[in-house]
């Protein structure tokens, strides 16, 4: 009897891409661009978003979808800083969000009253890189508490990113972290990356990040498919030295 092999992963990814296209269609119908924020655990995504939501309240209407393995703790933290929707997605142990979850989350968001969608992905530098969520751009947090060689160890994450936020720069005086080497290794993977240097704790560098978020929110979603744009990366840009209520889930 002949043996038939079914590539389950290929079929799952094909389905995800179709759902991501629907996410993208719905967002663009309302002119809402989307950022997919990714990092390893503990890099500071939630604190960066807390500071961003608080600073831009009343200026940019930001809806947030927060992915977490087991709790809605991060969503609850963010909800204290905004009157817009913060939607929790508990993955039950899955190491990434998928387009099906984002599409379901959109049902709770009033897109007509939203300027920007921010997706806080599950803390992981491997799995999220492979999953199109319908975003227009990907932002990777790269903390100074991590090794400079993260781009070399996780090249797909950095190759498919548009922007890198170097977080926790207030700790640089106390850490053996070489910023220039980290930037060089990241640009070795993706020369088009644009960098921000921030400390959400002290506020250092946040002005440039906030200016970027304002500008990104006020532009209409681009017509080209996000997967192609992400794969190609943004136009080369110089490093930006940054000296970045809600419903109950």
Domain range spanning residue 119? 31-232
Q: Is residue 133 part of a domain?
A: yes
User: Each residue of 2-13: pLDDT tens digit?
Assistant: 555 456 556 778
Q: What is the pLDDT of residue 71?
A: 63
Q: Is residue 26 part of a domain?
A: no
Q: Is residue 242 part of a domain?
A: no
CATH of the domain at 199: 3.40.50.300
Percent of the chain whose pLDDT exceeds 70 = 79
Q: Is residue 8 part of a domain?
A: no
Q: What is the pLDDT of residue 244?
A: 28
In 81-178, which residue ranges form alpha helices assigned H by DSSP? 99-106, 150-153, 155-159
Mean pLDDT of 52-72: 86
User: Each residue of 83-99: pLDDT tens digit?
Assistant: 766 766 766 667 889 99
Say if residue 227's pLDDT is above 70: no
Element spanning 227, H or E: helix 226-232
As for how many domains the chain has, the answer is 1
Q: Is residue 11 part of a domain?
A: no
User: Each residue of 199-224: pLDDT tens digit?
Assistant: 999 999 999 999 999 999 987 554 44
* CA atoms of 158 and 164, how far apart (whole Å): 8
Q: Is residue 239 part of a domain?
A: no
Q: pTM (2 decimals)?
A: 0.82
Q: Is residue 243 part of a domain?
A: no
* CA atoms of 237 and 134, how far apart (whole Å): 24
Enter the tokens of residue 45. 């995504």
Element spanning 144, H or E: none
Nearest to 184 by CA among 120, 239, 111: 239
User: Each residue of 110-150: pLDDT tens digit?
Assistant: 999 999 999 999 889 999 999 999 999 999 999 999 999 99
| β partners of residue 38 | 140
Say if residue 233's pLDDT is above 50: no
Q: Quick check: helix, strand or coil at residue 191?
A: coil
* CA atoms of 33 and 126, how far apart (whole Å): 24
Report residue 230 CA to chain centroid gap. 12
Q: Is residue 129 part of a domain?
A: yes
């Amino acid at each position: 009897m002949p043996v038939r092999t079914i590539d389950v992963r290929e079929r799952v990814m094909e389905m995800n891409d179709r759902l991501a296209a629907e996410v993208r269609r719905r967002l663009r119908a309302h002119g809402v661009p989307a950022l997919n924020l990714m990092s390893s655990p503990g890099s500071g995504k939630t604190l960066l978003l807390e500071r961003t939501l608080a600073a831009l309240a009343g200026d940019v209407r930001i809806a947030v979808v927060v992915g977490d393995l087991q709790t809605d703790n991060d969503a609850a933290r963010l909800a204290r800083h905004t009157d817009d929707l913060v939607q929790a997605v508990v993955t039950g142990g899955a190491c990434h969000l998928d387009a099906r979850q984002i599409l379901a989350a959109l049902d709770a968001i009033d897109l007509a009253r939203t300027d920007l969608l921010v997706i806080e992905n599950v803390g992981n530098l491997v799995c999220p890189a492979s999953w199109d969520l319908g975003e227009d751009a990907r932002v990777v947090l790269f903390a100074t508490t991590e090794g400079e060689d993260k781009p070399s160890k996780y090249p797909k994450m950095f190759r498919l990113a548009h922007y890198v936020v170097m977080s926790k720069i207030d700790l640089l005086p106390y850490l053996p972290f070489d910023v220039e080497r980290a930037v060089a290794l990241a640009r070795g993977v993706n020369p088009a990356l644009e960098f921000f240097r921030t400390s959400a704790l002290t506020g250092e560098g946040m002005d440039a990040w906030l200016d970027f978020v304002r500008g990104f929110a006020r532009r209409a979603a681009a017509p080209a498919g996000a997967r192609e744009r992400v794969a190609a990366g943004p136009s080369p840009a110089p490093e930006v030295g940054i000296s970045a209520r809600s419903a109950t889930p």
